[in-house]
C-alpha cells in the first residue's frame, strides 16, 4: 500500500512537471495541442527577455501568421500601476469566437499573459 501511494505521488509530480515548462522566459503553460495558454514572467528576468509590446508577445510566443490579428478591446484600469489589456483574435478580419488574450502589466512591464489562441489553419473566410 505504501509503495502504491508513493508511486501515485511520483506520477502526479511528473505530470505537473510536464504541464508547465520553466526556462529563461518564465513559466509557460500549454494546452493539449501545445498552444501556450499562459506565460508568467519573473521579476528577476532580464528586461530584454520580456516582450515590451503586445505584438512582440504574439509573434514570439504564439507564433501568429499574417492572417491572424489581435485587436485591443477597451478597458479602463482602476489602479495606475496595474494595466490589464484584452485583445480579441481575428482571422482574415473575422472575429474568432472565444479566442483572445489578456496581457497584464505592472509599472509598465509585462508580468503575465493568458488566454485562448486558436490556430485556424486554411479556412475560406468568404
Residues 17-43 have pLDDT tens digits of 544 444 445 789 999 989 999 999 987
Q: Is residue 104 part of a domain?
A: yes
Q: How far is residue 39's CA from residue 35's CA, in Å, rounded to a whole number?
A: 11
Q: Give residue 25's domain range.
A: 2-116
Q: Is residue 35 part of a domain?
A: yes
Q: Is residue 125 part of a domain?
A: no
The model's pLDDT over 74-100, given as tens digits with 9 standing for 90+, comes to 777 777 788 899 999 999 999 999 999
Q: Is residue 122 part of a domain?
A: no
Q: Is residue 9 part of a domain?
A: yes
CATH code (residue 8): 3.10.450
User: How many domains does the chain contain in total?
Assistant: 1
Q: Is residue 124 part of a domain?
A: no
Distance from chain centroid for Cα 106: 16
Amino acid at each position: 500500500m505504501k509503495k502504491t501511494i508513493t508511486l501515485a505521488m511520483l506520477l502526479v509530480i511528473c505530470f505537473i512537471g510536464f504541464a508547465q515548462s520553466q526556462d529563461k522566459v518564465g513559466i509557460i503553460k500549454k494546452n493539449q495541442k501545445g498552444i501556450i495558454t499562459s506565460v508568467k514572467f519573473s521579476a528577476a528576468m532580464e528586461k530584454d527577455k520580456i516582450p515590451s509590446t503586445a505584438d512582440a508577445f504574439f509573434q514570439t510566443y504564439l507564433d501568429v501568421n499574417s492572417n491572424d490579428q489581435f485587436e485591443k478591446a477597451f478597458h479602463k484600469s482602476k489602479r495606475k500601476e496595474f494595466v490589464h489589456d484584452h485583445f480579441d483574435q481575428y482571422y482574415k478580419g473575422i472575429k474568432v469566437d472565444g479566442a483572445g488574450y489578456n496581457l497584464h502589466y505592472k509599472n509598465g512591464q509585462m508580468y503575465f499573459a493568458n488566454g485562448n489562441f486558436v490556430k485556424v489553419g486554411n479556412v475560406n473566410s468568404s
